[in-house]
Amino acid sequence: MGSKTVLIVEDHPDFREFLAFVLERSGYFVDKARTGLEAIDRARATSPDLILMDFGLPDMIGDKIIMRLKADPSTKKIPVILITGYTDAKVTKLALGAGAAKVMIKPFGLDKLLDAIKHCLSCGPDSDPGVVESGDC
């Protein structure tokens, strides 16, 4: 796997720290952001290999953040896995339409999350995840 960096974007501190713990124990470097604007700034500054992001953040919703990331040449190729508690298919459609590599509905197993991260990292920066109906890189 190498030492890949994952930017975790989550406004709930306990869940953010839990995800960071799990990913660090799995061999990833972790960066963290609490808001959408902070995520965009961190992504531009650090060029993570993948972004793991909650849909509902205090300052903007996930599809808007993804659209801004995908519009920026410095961040457009970073795969984004969106995690959400919303089970409405509209949220998934919005996220995938904005360019998310995958949408995961909470609750999900940690093995599924780690598999999704590994899979999205193996897709390569030139893949076009938006054309895959399932959102599976």
pLDDT tens over the chain, length 137 residues: 458 999 999 999 999 999 999 999 999 999 999 999 999 999 999 999 999 999 999 999 999 999 999 999 999 999 999 999 888 888 899 999 999 999 999 899 999 999 999 999 997 554 444 433 345 56
Hey, which bits of 56-128 come out as E strands?
80-84, 102-105
Q: What is the model's pTM?
A: 0.89
Question: How do the domains of the chain map onto residue ranges?
Answer: 5-126
Q: What is the pLDDT of residue 3?
A: 87
Q: Helix, strand, coil proportions of the chain in percent (round to 5)?
A: 45, 20, 35
Q: Does domain 5-126 have CATH number 3.20.20.140?
A: no
* pLDDT tens digits for range 66-103: 999 999 999 999 999 999 988 888 889 999 999 999 99
Please check whether residue 35 is in contact with residue 58, taking contact to mean a CB–CB distance below 8 angstroms.
Answer: yes
